[in-house]
């Protein structure tokens, strides 16, 4: 066996072994779904609905609202009504004022060029235990501007938080 081939084997074997181990060490603990806002103008009549199937009831969840907007968005905040429907029919409607910018820091989310994304935690106090089954989240624009311009996407993100 020549030296080059032996060197290649010495590099590839640990690399392949590492790839084999990597998936077993990581678990997908984040679920995120986003809906595009038509024409970047969020009408109060357009109420995106997002569903998640919760199977793991042994952990708690943090729930985030995901907002993508352009630099041309006119306000430092956004009012959104978040309607939640659980698998056993329980429903909750939560009007929330989310801060997107401050005078001293500007946009609070991460940005690239003129597009900003922000994940805002809905359950502020503590992680939630969710019943198994299908959960549906419906978001509505409740700002005075109708349609609300320069909003690109709206979504929901669930993150597992293990018990401690």
Residue from 109, 124, 118, 116 nearest 63 by CA: 124
Residues 109-158: tens digit of each pLDDT: 787 888 999 888 888 777 777 778 888 999 999 999 999 999 999 999 99
- Is residue 44 a contact partner of residue 139, using CB atoms and an 8 Å limit? no
Residues 19-60: tens digit of each pLDDT: 444 444 444 477 899 999 999 999 999 999 999 888 887 888
Residue from 155, 164, 149 nearest 30 by CA: 155
| List of domains in the chain | 28-161 (2.60.120.380)
- Is residue 64 a contact partner of residue 156, using CB atoms and an 8 Å limit? yes
Residue with tokens 């549906």: 136
In this predicted structure, what is the pLDDT of residue 4? 54
Distance CA(97)–CA(116), nearest Å, equals 18
Q: What is the mean pLDDT of residues 98-115?
A: 85
Distance CA(13)–CA(4), nearest Å, equals 14
Distance CA(57)–CA(47), nearest Å, equals 28
Residue 107: alpha-carbon gap to chain centroid: 18
Model confidence, pTM: 0.74
């Amino acid at each position: 066996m020549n030296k080059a081939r032996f060197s290649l084997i010495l590099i590839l074997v640990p690399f392949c072994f590492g790839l084999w181990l990597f998936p077993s060490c990581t678990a997908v603990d984040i679920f995120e779904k986003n809906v595009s806002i038509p024409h970047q103008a969020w009408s109060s009549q357009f109420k995106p609905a997002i569903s998640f199937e919760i199977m793991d009831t042994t952990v708690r969840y943090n729930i985030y609202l995901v907002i993508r907007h352009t630099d041309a968005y006119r306000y430092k905040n956004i009012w959104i009504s978040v309607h939640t429907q659980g698998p056993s029919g329980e429903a909750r409607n939560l009007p929330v004022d989310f801060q997107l910018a401050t005078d001293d820091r500007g946009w609070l989310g991460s940005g690239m060029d003129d597009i900003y994304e922000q994940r805002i935690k809905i359950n502020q106090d503590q992680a939630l235990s969710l019943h198994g089954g299908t959960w549906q989240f419906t978001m509505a624009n409740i700002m005075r501007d109708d349609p609300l311009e320069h909003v690109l996407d709206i979504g929901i993100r669930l993150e597992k938080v293990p018990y401690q």
